[in-house]
Amino acid sequence: MAIPVETFFLKPDAQGTLQAQIQQMIAEGILSGRLRRGEKLPSSRKLAAHLGVSRITVTLAYTELQASDYLAARDRSGYFVSENAPEPLPEPELPAAAEAVDWDKALSRQITSSVVPGRPSDWARYRYPFVYGQADPALFDHAHWRLCAIQALGQKDFTALTTDYYDQDDPELVEFILRHSLPRRGIMARPEEVLVTMGAQNALWLAAQVLLGSGRRAVMENPSYPPLKDTLAQIDCDVTAVDVDAEGLPPAALPEACNVIFTTPSHQCPTSATMPRPRREALLAAARARNALVVEDDYEFEMSFLSPPSPALKSLDGDGRVIYVGSFSKVLFPGLRLGYLVGPEPFIRQARALRANVLRHPPGHIQRTAAYFLRLGHYDAQIKRMSRLLAERRAVMQAALLDHGLTIAGSGTFGGSSFWMKAPDGVDMEQVRQQLQADSVLIESGDRFFTGAQAPRNHYRLAYSSIPSDRIAEGVVRIAQAITDAGT
């Protein structure tokens, strides 16, 4: 690799001849690790012109560095950092910089985030990764996605690739959502009622920002999706957490005064409870009585492989008070960051304006690639393949959990990709998680899903979307043993 000439400069206060300064500059670059062995230096002519010195000065500096084995000359190719150059020196401990700014006063608020994953970035190298929501090569149709990406790069789609949509979305992607995704959930909508987002989390953030503020009250489930807790905490609104039960959010427990209710009725996050239709109707009636809006996060409905999913809450809504959140990232891959909001046109208009102020729109090339992948049938084919493999993994895991006496606290009625688990009272699953990680087992402790200072410590989540079937049983054995050891 060639080192850009722009990275070289002489210090204004440097001592010694120009030749000595150039030698010192290059030697310091090698010793600091910035210039690496085998990298090509700029030609003497180019470096001389850049530094404003004579070419012979640079040539003499290069020659001296070659004699010291810092550089090596290759016939007709120029100078390179020598393979025998000294090893970079260890990083020196720098004194703490004096801060002229009082950041406690300068920052308007302290922002916390639950987005930091409870798993290492190299999770795939662990033998028993019971991690949630990660891309498994066995489940992703990489070949067809690549072909769709190439197609979206073609001249025919030049506009979709390069145009600034400002506050608009790719019409082909919106059309697929309207004609394919939403009807499967019993939802009918117009283009003006759909907004493409950077994943479901971005959709929840937009909804919260538009609907909530000072003097308004939000209701969230407990336990619930951790980033939603962070989002609501950053808004000047009152928040009430309502404990869920085996059927999800109980309408009877809602406070009398509330403005927005956030719920995950199809696959409650994280318990996987499925809200039955009578409760869905009761929830809509309770929202109507309170003149409240409902934000329905339907993040995992595509993973309904055990039986067809219940109609979406929004499909039962005759008042236009339900705002629907969907995502493509769960089925495709989390790095896609592509979701959507569906709601009444006045709400979508405001959410669109807010999105435009923050990030304009999701990249056009990503939207068009996804539109091709969806429209050409690859998405449905992937859902079928994923459903088959997830059903197999779920059966293996459920049998292993029961064989080893582990308590399943919640599992999806229609499918999903995880089990919500409960260890015996007194077992701290965060400590167990840390111990298991050293044994090449990754699990997710459940305390971060709860709201309140007295959050239980004995829950955990086991996902089967990222671990092959033939490793599940042995991984469960290790989990069971670790929990037994923690309880003794």
Q: Is the pLDDT of residue 305 over 60?
A: no
Q: What is the pLDDT of residue 120?
A: 82
Q: Is the pLDDT of residue 190 over 70?
A: yes
pTM of the model: 0.81
Does residue 423 share a domain with residue 327? no
Q: Is residue 97 part of a domain?
A: no
Does residue 461 share a domain with residue 372? no
Query: How crowded is residue 320: how many other Cβ atoms within 10 Å of its Cβ?
Result: 14
Q: Is residue 264 part of a domain?
A: yes
Q: Is the pLDDT of residue 303 over 80?
A: no
Q: Residue 241 is inside which H or E element, if any?
A: strand 238-243
pLDDT digit string, tens, across residues 153-177: 999 988 888 888 888 999 999 999 9
Which range (85-99, 248-262, 343-357) has the least confidence?
85-99
Q: Is the pLDDT of residue 110 over 80?
A: no
**Overall average pLDDT of the 343-369 stretch:** 94
Q: What is the share, in percent, of the chain residues with pLDDT greater than 70?
A: 95
**Overall average pLDDT of the 118-144 stretch:** 86
Q: Is residue 117 part of a domain?
A: no
Q: Is residue 355 part of a domain?
A: yes
Cβ atoms of 403 and 440 within 8 Å: the answer is no
3-state class (DSSP) for residue 4: coil
Q: Is the pLDDT of residue 414 over 80?
A: no
Cβ atoms of 160 and 152 within 8 Å: the answer is yes
DSSP 124: G
Instruction: Tell me the DSSP string of 360-406.
Output: SSS-HHHHHHHHHHHHTTHHHHHHHHHHHHHHHHHHHHHHHHHHTT-
Domain of residue 357, CATH code: 3.40.640.10
Give the C-alpha separation, 355 to 427, whole Å: 43
C-alpha to C-alpha distances, 270 to 223, 229, 245, 314, 417, nearest whole angstrom: 7, 13, 12, 21, 11
Which of 120-129, 295-304, 409-418, 464-473 reaches the highest mean pLDDT? 464-473
List the structure tokens of 298. Answer: 């339907």
Q: Is residue 91 part of a domain?
A: no
Query: How crowded is residue 207: how many other Cβ atoms within 10 Å of its Cβ?
Result: 25
3-state class (DSSP) for residue 11: coil
Q: How many domains does the chain have?
A: 3
Q: Is the pLDDT of residue 116 over 60?
A: no
Is residue 355 classed exposed, middle or buried when 0-12, 13-18 and 19+ CB atoms within 10 A define those classes? buried
Q: Is the pLDDT of residue 117 over 60?
A: no
**Overall average pLDDT of the 294-310 stretch:** 77
Does residue 341 share a domain with residue 223? yes
Confidence band, pLDDT 50/70/90 cuts, at residue 310:
confident
- φ, ψ at 39 (rounded to 5°): -80, 145
**Overall average pLDDT of the 53-67 stretch:** 95
pLDDT digit string, tens, across residues 15-58: 899 999 999 999 999 998 889 999 999 999 999 999 999 999 99
Residue carrying the six token digits 């801060």: 99
Q: What is the pLDDT of residue 163?
A: 85
Does residue 399 share a domain with residue 334? no
Orientation of helix 44-51 relative to helix 55-67, angle to 10°: 120
Q: Is residue 101 part of a domain?
A: no
Give the C-alpha separation, 469 to 219, whole Å: 38
Does residue 238 share a domain with residue 369? yes
Q: For residue 360, what are the domain limits? A: 142-376
pLDDT digit string, tens, across residues 445-460: 999 999 987 889 999 9
**Overall average pLDDT of the 384-411 stretch:** 91
**Overall average pLDDT of the 81-92 stretch:** 85
Q: What is the pLDDT of residue 452?
A: 80
Q: Is the pLDDT of residue 437 over 70?
A: yes
Does residue 331 share a domain with residue 256? yes
Does residue 176 share a domain with residue 128? no
Q: Is the pLDDT of residue 307 over 80?
A: no
Instruction: Count Cα atoms within 13 angstroms, Cβ side, for 261.
Output: 30
Confidence band, pLDDT 50/70/90 cuts, at residue 109:
confident
Cβ atoms of 460 and 446 within 8 Å: the answer is yes
Q: What is the pLDDT of residue 304?
A: 62
Is residue 342 classed exposed, middle or buried when 0-12, 13-18 and 19+ CB atoms within 10 A define those classes? buried
Q: Is residue 108 part of a domain?
A: no
Q: Is residue 102 part of a domain?
A: no
Alpha-carbon torsion, ordered 12, 18, 23, 26, to 10 deg: 40
Better-scored residue on pLDDT, 410 or 259 = 259
Domain of residue 429, CATH code: 3.90.1150.10
- Would you call the peptide bond into 92 cis, given omega within 30 degrees of 0 as the criterion? no
Q: Which residues pair with 79 in a beta bridge?
A: 73
What is the overall mean pLDDT for the chain? 90
Does residue 253 share a domain with residue 153? yes
Residue in 300, 295, 113, 328 with CA at minimum distance from that of residue 204? 295
**Overall average pLDDT of the 267-274 stretch:** 91
Does residue 358 share a domain with residue 394? no
Q: What is the pLDDT of residue 114?
A: 66
Give the C-alpha separation, 5 to 17, whole Å: 20
Instruction: Tell me the DSSP string of 433-464.
Output: HHHHHTTTEE-EESGGG--STT--SSEEEEE-
Does residue 372 share a domain with residue 395? no
Does residue 431 share a domain with residue 282? no
Q: Strands 459-463 and 444-445: what pairing?
A: antiparallel
Q: Is the pLDDT of residue 336 over 80?
A: yes
Domain of residue 24, CATH code: 1.10.10.10
- ∠ Cα 391 371 210 (to 5°): 90
Q: Is the pLDDT of residue 434 over 90?
A: yes
